[in-house]
Amino acid sequence: MPTKPIHDIAASFSRRGVLAATAGLMLGLASISGAKAADDTIKVGVLHSLSGTMAISETTLKDTILFLIDEQNKKGGVLGKKLEAVVVDPASNWPLFAEKARELITKDKVSVVFGCWTSVSRKSVLPVFKELNNILFYPVQYEGEESERNVFYTGAAPNQQAIPAVDYLMKDEKVKRWVLAGTDYVYPRTTNKILEAYLKSKGVAQEDIMINYTPFGHSDWQTIVADIKKFGSAGKKTAVVSTINGDANVPFYKELGNQGVKAKDIPVVAFSVGEEELAGIDTKPLVGHLAAWNYFESIKTPANEKFIKDWQAYTKNPKRTTNDPMEAHVIGFNMWIKAVEKVKSTDPDKVIDALPGIEAANLTGGTSKMLPNHHITKPVFIGEIKGNGQFDVVWKTPGLVAGDAWSKELDGSKDLIGDWVGKKCGNFNTKTNKCLGSGS
C-alpha cells in the first residue's frame, strides 16, 4: 500500500496552525482567569448540589444561605459592604465539589464558603480549603473524627445526637436490646462503632446488639423488617437506632408501618430523618417513632417562629419546612458575621482565629458557642413523629452539649482532642502531648 513519504508530512505540517491553536487556547485560558472580583461587595460561596441525587437535601440549604444573605443585606450588610452570594452546582459529583471549591476561592475570591452535605463531599474539598486557606462552614451531622483549621462544623458530632438518643431510650423506654441499622457508608459505620462501644460500656451484651447494613437507596426492606421483628421478640424491650440515609428511609418506614411494627413495641430512633424526609410519607402509621436532632421545626420559641415566618415569606411558600441543617447554617452564618465584625476584616486567617469563642443565638432559645475544636455547643432534642409530619419534642438535654471532634468511645481517638486556640492543632494526643500528623 502506498505510504506518504516523510518530507510530505513535514510539508503538510502547518506550523502556523499549531501556533494559532495554541495561542488561542492560552488566550482563552487567561481570559477565563481574568474575571475581576468587584471590590464593593463581600462574596460568599455557596457549594451545594442543585442537581443529581443530593439535590433533594442540598437545594434547601442553598436557599437558606441566599435567604440569610438577603436578611443581612437588609440590615446593611457587614463592614459597610453588601454580601453577594456566588452559587455553584457541584451536581452531587464529589470531584466536582473540589473543582468548584477551587473555582470559588481562586476565581471568585469568596471570603467564606457554606456548603457540602455528605462526608465525602467535605473530604473532597478539604485539601482545597487547606491549600488555599479559606473557610468552610459544614452544616450537617456527621461521624466526627475530624478537626481541621479551615472547617467549622455546625452540625452535630456523634456525641451531640447519637449518644443522647441512646441514653433516652435506655432510661425512658427501658430498652435492653438494640438494632443498629444503617446504610453502608462511613457515617453509619462510625456512629455504630461508637454506639456499640458505648452500649457495651453500659453493660449491654453482644447478643443483644444486631448490626445491619444496606446499600444506598435500598428499597426492599421486607427481610430486614422481619429480622427486626424477630430480634425484637426475644422478650427484652428492643429499639432500632437508624442511620439509614435519606432516600432509603421512605420504603423502610412504609414497610415498618405495613408489617405492623408500632413505635410502642419497637421504637425506631433515626438520625437522618427530618421534616424534609417525612414530607414524602404518610406519617400516621409512624406516630411515636423518634428522631434525634438539635432542632425541630415544631419547637416553639420566638426566634424559631420568626425564622419560619420570614423563611416562608422569602420562599413564597407557606408550607416550606425547616430542618436541622438549616438551623446549623443560621448559626454558622451568624457566627461568621460576628467574627468578621469583631476583627473588621474578612481575611480568612483573622476570621479563623476569631471564631472560637464567638457565640450566636440558636433558634431553640439557647446560645451556641464555637469551641476551640471548631465544633459548636448545641442542645439535643428527641422528637416523636406526629401524624402531621412534624415532631413532638419528648425530651431534651438539660443544657447545651459540647461537640466532640474525636469520639471518646473509639480506641483510635479516645486520647485525641482538637484545639485550634491553645495547641493550634486539630488532632492533639493528650497522652503523648504531641500533635499528630499533618496538623503540626
**What is the chain's percent helix, strand, coil content, to nearest 5?**
40, 20, 40
Min dist CB 328 to other proteins, Å, is: 18
Among 41, 109, 170, 185, binds other proteins (CB under 8 A): 185
Binding of other proteins by 367 (CB under 8 A):
no
Burial class (CB in 10 A: 0-12, 13-18, 19+), 132: middle
The residue among 390, 207, 372 whose CA lies nearest residue 299 is 390
Among 43, 149, 254, 378, binds other proteins (CB under 8 A): 254
Which distant-in-sequence residues (6+ apart) come within 8 Å of 414 by Cβ? 406, 407, 408
Binding of other proteins by 217 (CB under 8 A):
yes
Q: H/E element holding 395?
A: strand 391-396
Contact segment (CB under 8 A) with other proteins among 154-162, 255-263, 327-335, 350-358 equals: 255-263
Binding of other proteins by 30 (CB under 8 A):
yes
Binding of other proteins by 347 (CB under 8 A):
no
Nearest residue (CB) to other proteins, 274 versus 356: 274
Among 65, 270, 277, 334, binds other proteins (CB under 8 A): 277
Greatest alpha-carbon span in the chain: 90
Nearest residue (CB) to other proteins, 235 versus 318: 235
Among 201, 258, 388, 430, binds other proteins (CB under 8 A): 258
Nearest residue (CB) to other proteins, 145 versus 327: 145
Binding of other proteins by 300 (CB under 8 A):
no
Instruction: Count interface residues toward other proteins (CB under 8 A).
Output: 120
Contact segment (CB under 8 A) with other proteins among 72-80, 150-158, 271-279, 299-307 equals: 271-279
Q: What is the DSSP letter of 208?
A: G
Min dist CB 235 to other proteins, Å, is: 3
Among 99, 167, 353, 359, binds other proteins (CB under 8 A): 99
Cα–Cα distances (Å) from 328 to 92, 124, 155, 322, 360, in that order, read 21, 21, 6, 11, 11
Binding of other proteins by 93 (CB under 8 A):
yes
Among 201, 233, 367, 430, binds other proteins (CB under 8 A): 233
Residue carrying C-alpha cell 480568612: 348
Contact segment (CB under 8 A) with other proteins among 16-24, 133-141, 157-165, 325-333 equals: 16-24
The residue among 249, 212, 214, 213 whose CA lies nearest residue 56 is 249
Binding of other proteins by 34 (CB under 8 A):
yes
Binding of other proteins by 297 (CB under 8 A):
no
Cα separation, 330 vs 294, in Å, equals 13
Angle, CA 210 vertex, CA 206 and CA 214 arms, to 5°: 145
Which distant-in-sequence residues (6+ apart) come within 8 Å of 339 by Cβ? 351, 354, 355, 358
Burial class (CB in 10 A: 0-12, 13-18, 19+), 289: buried
Cα separation, 418 vs 366, in Å, equals 24
Which distant-in-sequence residues (6+ apart) come within 8 Å of 44 by Cβ? 65, 69, 83, 84, 85, 86, 110, 111, 112, 113, 114
Contact segment (CB under 8 A) with other proteins among 95-103, 159-167, 202-210, 343-351 equals: 95-103
Binding of other proteins by 229 (CB under 8 A):
yes
Nearest residue (CB) to other proteins, 17 versus 203: 17
Among 70, 106, 202, 310, binds other proteins (CB under 8 A): 106
Min dist CB 249 to other proteins, Å, is: 9
Q: H/E element holding 68?
A: helix 55-74
Among 66, 79, 170, 186, binds other proteins (CB under 8 A): 186
Cα–Cα distances (Å) from 425 to 151, 158, 338, 434, 436, in that order, read 13, 21, 23, 9, 8
Min dist CB 190 to other proteins, Å, is: 6
Contact segment (CB under 8 A) with other proteins among 22-30, 68-76, 291-299, 364-372 equals: 22-30
Among 139, 158, 257, 325, binds other proteins (CB under 8 A): 257
Contact segment (CB under 8 A) with other proteins among 70-78, 90-98, 337-345, 348-356 equals: 90-98
**Residue 337 dihedral angles phi and psi, to the nearest 5°:** -60, -45
